[in-house]
């Protein structure tokens, strides 16, 4: 029995699906103490950030309210924070899905990008607008997910067939995806809108109204769209998949020991392709939701770092699907508040980014500390 | 065998100074009152050294003395504790109990740097050279205070003494493996060590270069340095050793003076002299051959060949296993058994040759396909290949057949656990179905693996590679009882083991593998012990010269 408790305490816990024994009461109390550490870390980072803002000469009395207003200051701000959390959450879910098979998908940004392209292409030129109502917006979403899946699966296939490191391939494919967005809105033969003058930035035509994501509170005029529901549903689905399904167990087995999995008769290569494909699909879906829900047309650089922030969300969630939306919310709020601080309190953008970075580092450090103590 | 050291010898001159600096209280370290010859006093002495890793006892009260001017071989199977012993001597790990003395002085290295300073150098199995740098630059690493030309002169002097040349200025990665090893050895000798440890130095060498290395070892010893050569290859020991210590399960079983020693006697003490209690086996073994003779050929292996990355032939085997027969594969480890097991279990692709199961070609089948065809495999390395330590016992049992418990993708864990509990009861495994595999003892882990493989639908052939490694006597009994039970159902079994007694008592027929080839096919039974032992040692074939072609002829 002593051996049991010691193995539970080791790093195995994060990867292994927990089968059985609930933790004894003593560890539960200990883990409460551990929970406090992340909070302290984040508070420390916030303090550092505030000091930094004060150093730039912007009075904290002006910066802080701006930050808070940006997150929850109005219905509109709140919805903005929520909507920013949606793609972050999807990317994060994709990350932990691949992570279960011990694969590190750092290509969220590119999967997001190709998802956006595919979604815009199908919505504008694929005849999606002519479809009956739910299909009109579902078809471009599916196209986005499919494109992301292909992007992820490509890295998976390279890994399975040639042993290429997926960190490298997903990252580089990410850059390819990003440049493809630039390419596709530069050329009229592709997605660039035909009306051209010097004032028009390279972008596509606006999406047909039918292909935009339905709003949840239509009367209020708030941009609260169905993407939120999709993200929450998928969080539950991914959570169930990892914890309760055969596929989840197979992925965990491959993640822990590829050789033993092959010996046990698992199709290790297919599982690797599948894991990265599914991970990419979530990223592609995130891109489609951003295009159809928030932006309504494809522009160069529309992904604006959501893929990388989503990666951090996934990292911090440490394999837990229900933690992903929470961290996504944190990062969505940081983005909203940071933007507001920049715009209304004139805090330099660089300082805002540094503060966000500090919080990321603090959260990651807290997570690592918590893991060591748990 | 002993070569007198020449006075001009730089190494030899360095040695007495080092020894003289410490008035050695040698008498306390020499238990046996024999007065050693002057140049043969103890360089390194281990007294009751012990080391545990959790449950595993890696070293158990080891006494060892390596004398100056001798090549002392440390012989042992994988897992016998050789690496742990090296690591302790080189300061990588610290012993839990016992003391070390070097040249009569207490020796407690906390890190390799301490060992180097004290005069212990080690050639690792995997070279510790920087590939981009030249040999000379490699020499200068960690010796920043010594001048480059002085080091070069010293290295040239050493090369000259040992009669080979070295390209000191070419990047090391452009050199052949043998040359790189010589660079490594010269690097060690630059500091005039009192003790040179070589860990499996021949494992990386193509056969023609092995003889050269062994000769070099002899010369280094002749210059006054003590040489500790770690190996599991018998042939090398015969060629080079003055004395040999046999390490088995963490204990030094015996230390033999090689003058007049028999190699096959060493084999026996390496793989175990005492017969483990296999009471049930003796009874069933006598009746087995009759039954086996009636079986038809099930698994046919034909000219199955495999070469490692260096192009060295590791395997060239032809044999067959019949239905309802247990065939044992004996051999000193490293003679191709691991490669054969990996190929038969679908984890490794052979260079050429055929494997047929009931007439059907399965040479390149994947583990998944093999399982479908009714091939069960107990892997040699339980922790790396045999099972998932972090997954639960139930998950380990059914990982390959999750479909049984899956509906619409949903895994019914409670039903899986129930099924697992039933299997655990049936096979008398002590452990919970929901507990992680890592919480089970080695014996129970192995029982789970065996239960999984024996439970394959339509099991026709079972490969059991080192099925009893690390198990206690009771667990060994249980494992073989299950294997015999499978034979009773008409399953053909191939058991690969380095425990010769076990193999002889459980097998209907024993094949002996030597240098990748089957050199003997004898009926089972403990009375075959001598014969198999001598076949395992290559029967006096000069193995360093070639790849045992003569041995194969002899067997034919």
Residues A267 and A126 in one domain: yes
Residue A262, chain B, CB below 8 Å: the answer is yes
Per domain, the residue ranges of chain B are: 10-22+69-94+109-241, 279-390+436-555
Substitution target from A241, A245, A246 for chain B, most B beta carbons within 10 A: A246
Chain B nearest-CA distance from A244, in A, is 6
Chain A nearest-CA distance from B419, in A, is 15
User: Does B388 sit within 8 Å of A261, measured CB to CB?
Assistant: yes
B-proximal residues of A, 138-177, CB under 8 Å: none
**Which residues of chain B are within 8 Å of residue A245 when distances are taken between CB atoms?**
406, 409-411
Give the pairing type, strands B406-407 and B251-257: unpaired
Residue A87 near residue A289 (C-beta atoms within 8 A): yes
Residue B385 has its nearest CB partner, among A241, A245, A260, at: A260
Name the domain count of chain A: 2
Does A5 fall in a domain?
no
Residues A168 and A62 in one domain: no
CATH topology of domain B279-390+436-555: Rossmann fold (3.40.50)
Dist. CA B409–CA A57, nearest whole Å:
58
**Which residues of chain B are within 8 Å of residue A263 when distances are taken between CB atoms?**
345, 347, 367, 377, 379, 385-386
User: Does B409 sit within 8 Å of A245, measured CB to CB?
Assistant: yes
Dist. CA B451–CA B440, nearest whole Å:
14
Residue B271 is predicted with a pLDDT of 66
Which chain A residue lies closest to B345 (C-alpha atoms)? A263
- Widest distance between CA atoms in chain B: 83
CA angle B446, B452, B457 (to 5 degrees): 150
User: Does B386 sit within 8 Å of A249, measured CB to CB?
Assistant: no
Residue A63 is predicted with a pLDDT of 84
**ipTM score here?**
0.78
Residue A247, chain B, CB below 8 Å: the answer is yes
Return all residues near A219 (Cβ < 8 A) that are at least 6 apart.
Answer: none
Residue-wise pLDDT tens digits, A136-157:
899 999 999 999 999 999 999 9
Residue A83 is predicted with a pLDDT of 92
User: Does A266 sit within 8 Å of B368, measured CB to CB?
Assistant: yes
Nearest to B379 by CA among A37, A125, A262, A273: A262
Residues A257 and A349 in one domain: no
Does A19 fall in a domain?
no
User: Does A263 sit within 8 Å of B379, measured CB to CB?
Assistant: yes
**Which residues of chain B are within 8 Å of residue A264 when distances are taken between CB atoms?**
367, 388, 396, 399-400, 452
For the B10-22+69-94+109-241 domain, the top CATH level (class) is: alpha beta
Residues A110 and A209 in one domain: yes
Residues A150 and A275 in one domain: yes
Does A104 fall in a domain?
yes
Residues A215 and A106 in one domain: yes
Chain A nearest-CA distance from B428, in A, is 19
R_g of chain A computed on alpha carbons: 22
Residue A33 is predicted with a pLDDT of 58
Residues A294 and A339 in one domain: no
| Residue span of the structural domain in which A124 resides | 87-306
Substitution target from B412, B439, B452 for chain A, most A beta carbons within 10 A: B439
Residues A255 and A333 in one domain: no
pLDDT (tens, 9 = 90+) of chain A, 374 residues, equals 333 333 333 333 334 344 344 444 444 545 555 566 767 777 888 788 888 888 888 888 888 888 888 888 888 888 989 999 999 999 999 999 999 999 999 999 999 999 999 999 999 888 878 888 889 899 999 999 999 999 999 999 999 999 899 999 999 999 999 999 988 888 777 777 777 666 667 788 888 888 888 888 777 778 889 999 999 999 999 999 999 999 999 999 999 999 999 999 999 999 999 999 999 999 999 999 999 998 888 988 888 889 988 998 898 888 889 999 999 998 898 888 888 888 888 888 788 788 878 877 887 777 677 665 54
Sheet of B375-378, strands arranged across: B375-378, B461-465, B492-496, B326-330, B509-514, B517-523
Asked if B10-22+69-94+109-241 and B279-390+436-555 have one fold, the answer is yes
Residue B37 is predicted with a pLDDT of 43
Nearest to B375 by CA among B487, B484, B299, B480: B299
Residue A18, chain B, CB below 8 Å: the answer is no
User: Does B385 sit within 8 Å of A19, measured CB to CB?
Assistant: no
Residue B393 near residue B435 (C-beta atoms within 8 A): yes
Chain A nearest-CA distance from B417, in A, is 10
Chain A nearest-CA distance from B49, in A, is 26
Residue B391 has its nearest CB partner, among A245, A256, A262, at: A256
Q: Is the dihedral of CA A117, A122, A123, A126 positive or negative?
A: positive
User: Does B410 sit within 8 Å of A266, measured CB to CB?
Assistant: no
Nearest to B391 by CA among A338, A16, A11: A16
Strands (E) located in B54-123? 56-67, 71-75, 97-102, 105-106, 120-123
Substitution target from B411, B434, B448, B465 for chain A, most A beta carbons within 10 A: B411
User: Does A260 sit within 8 Å of B411, measured CB to CB?
Assistant: no
Residue B377 has its nearest CB partner, among A19, A256, A263, at: A263
Could you tell me the two tokens for A372?
């060591």
Residue A82 near residue A92 (C-beta atoms within 8 A): no
User: Does B400 sit within 8 Å of A253, measured CB to CB?
Assistant: no
CA angle A293, A295, A298 (to 5 degrees): 115
Residue A12 is predicted with a pLDDT of 36
Residue B413 has its nearest CB partner, among A19, A256, A264, at: A19
Dist. CA A321–CA A241, nearest whole Å:
10
Residue-wise pLDDT tens digits, B415-466:
999 999 999 998 888 888 898 998 887 778 888 999 999 989 889 999 999 8
* pLDDT less than 70: residues of chain B: 1-40, 55, 78-79, 204, 206-208, 261, 271-295, 310, 470, 472-473, 539-556
User: Does B392 sit within 8 Å of A257, measured CB to CB?
Assistant: no
Q: How many helices (H) and strands (E) does chain A have?
A: 15, 0
Does A20 fall in a domain?
no
**Which residues of chain B are within 8 Å of residue A21 when distances are taken between CB atoms?**
434-435
Residues A231 and A115 in one domain: yes
Which chain B residue lies closest to A266 (C-alpha atoms)? B400
User: Does A7 sit within 8 Å of B402, measured CB to CB?
Assistant: no
Q: How many CB atoms lie within 10 A of CB A2?
A: 7
Residues A227 and A156 in one domain: yes
Residue A15, chain B, CB below 8 Å: the answer is yes
**Which residues of chain B are within 8 Å of residue A250 when distances are taken between CB atoms?**
399, 402
Dist. CA A299–CA A185, nearest whole Å:
7
Residues of B with CB under 8 A from a CB of A: 345, 347, 366-368, 371, 377, 379, 384-392, 394-396, 399-403, 405-406, 409-411, 413, 417, 432, 434-436, 438-439, 452
Chain A nearest-CA distance from B406, in A, is 7
Residues A208 and A340 in one domain: no
Residue A5, chain B, CB below 8 Å: the answer is no
Residue B409 has its nearest CB partner, among A247, A256, A265, at: A247
Q: How many CB atoms lie within 10 A of CB B412?
A: 16
Does A2 fall in a domain?
no
Residue A1 is predicted with a pLDDT of 35
Residues A273 and A369 in one domain: no
The torsion angles phi and psi of B525, rounded to 5 degrees, stand at 115, 140
């Amino acid at each position: 029995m002593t051996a049991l408790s010691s193995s539970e305490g080791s790093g195995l816990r994060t990867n292994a699906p927990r089968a059985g024994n609930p933790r004894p009461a003593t560890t539960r109390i200990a883990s409460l103490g551990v929970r406090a550490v992340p909070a302290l870390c984040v508070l420390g980072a916030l303090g550092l950030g505030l000091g930094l803002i004060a150093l730039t000469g912007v009075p904290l009395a002006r910066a802080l309210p701006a930050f808070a207003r940006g997150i929850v200051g109005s219905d509109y701000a709140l919805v903005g924070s929520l909507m920013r959390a949606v793609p972050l959450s999807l990317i994060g879910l994709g990350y932990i899905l691949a992570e279960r098979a011990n694969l590190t998908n750092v290509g969220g940004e590119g999967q997001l990008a190709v998802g956006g392209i595919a979604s815009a292409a199908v919505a504008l030129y694929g005849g999606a607008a002519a479809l009956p109502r739910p299909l009109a917006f579902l078809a471009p979403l599916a196209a986005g997910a499919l494109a992301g899946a292909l992007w992820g699966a490509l890295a998976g296939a390279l890994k399975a067939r040639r042993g290429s490191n997926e960190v490298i391939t997903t990252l580089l494919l990410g850059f390819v995806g990003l440049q493809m967005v630039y390419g596709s809105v530069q050329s009229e033969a592709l997605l660039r809108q035909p009306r051209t003058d010097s004032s028009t930035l390279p972008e596509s035509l606006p999406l047909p109204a039918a292909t935009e994501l339905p709003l949840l509170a239509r009367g209020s005029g708030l941009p609260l769209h169905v993407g939120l529901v999709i993200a929450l549903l998928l969080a539950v689905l991914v959570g169930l998949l990892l914890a309760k399904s055969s596929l989840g167990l197979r992925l965990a087995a491959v993640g822990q020991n590829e050789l033993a999995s092959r010996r046990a008769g698992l199709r290790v290569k297919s599982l690797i392709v599948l894991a990265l494909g599914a991970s990419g699909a979530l990223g592609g879906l995130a891109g489609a939701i951003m295009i159809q829900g928030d932006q309504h047309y494809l522009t160069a650089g529309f992904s604006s770092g959501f893929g990388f922030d989503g990666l951090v969300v996934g990292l911090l969630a440490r394999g837990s699907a229900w933690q992903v939306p929470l961290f996504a919310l944190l990062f969505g709020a940081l983005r909203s508040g940071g933007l507001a601080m920049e715009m209304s309190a004139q805090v330099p953008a660089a300082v805002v980014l540094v503060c966000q970075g500090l919080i990321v580092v603090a959260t990651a450090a807290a997570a690592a500390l918590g893991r060591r103590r748990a | 065998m002993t070569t007198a050291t020449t006075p001009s010898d730089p190494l030899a001159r360095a040695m007495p100074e080092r020894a003289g600096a410490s008035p050695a209280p040698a008498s306390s370290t020499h238990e046996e009152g024999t007065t050693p010859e002057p140049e043969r006093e103890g360089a390194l002495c281990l007294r009751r050294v012990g080391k545990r890793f959790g449950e595993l006892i890696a070293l158990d009260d080891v006494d060892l003395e390596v004398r100056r001017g001798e090549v002392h071989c440390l012989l042992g199977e994988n897992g016998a504790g050789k690496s742990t012993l090296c690591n302790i001597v080189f300061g990588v790990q610290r012993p839990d109990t016992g003391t070390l003395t070097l040249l009569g002085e207490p020796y407690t290295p906390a890190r390799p740097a301490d060992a180097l300073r004290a005069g212990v150098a080690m050639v690792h199995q995997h070279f510790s050279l920087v590939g981009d740098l030249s040999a000379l630059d490699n020499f200068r690493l960690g010796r920043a205070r010594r001048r480059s030309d002085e080091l070069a002169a010293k290295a040239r002097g050493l090369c000259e003494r040992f009669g080979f040349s070295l390209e000191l200025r070419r990047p090391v990665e452009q050199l052949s493996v043998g040359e790189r090893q010589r660079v490594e050895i010269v690097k060690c000798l630059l500091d005039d060590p009192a003790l040179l440890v070589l860990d499996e130095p021949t494992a990386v060498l193509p056969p023609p270069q092995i003889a050269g290395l062994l000769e070099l070892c002899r010369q280094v010893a002749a210059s006054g340095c003590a040489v500790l050569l770690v190996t599991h290859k018998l042939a090398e020991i015969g060629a080079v050793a003055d004395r040999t210590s046999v390490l088995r399960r963490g204990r030094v079983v015996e230390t033999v003076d090689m003058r007049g020693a028999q190699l096959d006697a060493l084999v026996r003490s390496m793989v175990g002299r005492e017969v483990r209690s296999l009471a049930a086996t003796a009874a069933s073994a006598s009746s087995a051959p009759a039954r086996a003779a009636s079986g038809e050929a099930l698994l046919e292996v034909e000219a199955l060949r495999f070469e490692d990355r260096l192009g060295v032939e590791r395997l060239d085997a032809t044999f067959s296993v019949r239905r309802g027969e247990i065939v044992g594969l004996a051999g000193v480890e490293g003679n191709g058994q691991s490669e054969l097991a990996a190929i038969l279990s679908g984890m490794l692709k052979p260079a050429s040759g055929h494997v047929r199961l009931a007439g059907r070609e399965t040479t390149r089948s994947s583990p998944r396909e093999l399982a479908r065809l009714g091939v069960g495999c107990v892997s040699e390395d339980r922790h790396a290949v045999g099972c998932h330590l972090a997954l639960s016992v139930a998950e380990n049992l059914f990982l390959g057949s999750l479909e049984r418990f899956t509906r619409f993708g949903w895994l019914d864990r409670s039903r899986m656990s129930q099924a697992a509990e039933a299997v655990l009861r049936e096979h008398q495994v002590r452990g919970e179905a929901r507990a992680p595999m890592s919480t089970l003892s080695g014996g129970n882990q192995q029982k789970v693996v065996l239960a999984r493989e024996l439970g394959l639908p339509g099991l026709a052939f079972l490969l059991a590679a080192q099925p009893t490694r690390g198990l206690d006597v009771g667990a060994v009994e249980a494992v073989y009882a299950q294997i015999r039970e499978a034979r009773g159902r008409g399953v053909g079994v191939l058991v690969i083991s380095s425990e010769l007694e076990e193999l002889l008592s459980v097998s209907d027929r024993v094949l002996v593998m030597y240098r990748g080839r089957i050199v003997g096919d004898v009926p089972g039974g403990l009375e075959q012990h001598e014969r198999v032992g001598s076949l395992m040692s290559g029967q006096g074939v000069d193995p360093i010269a070639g790849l045992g072609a003569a041995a194969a002829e002899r067997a034919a």
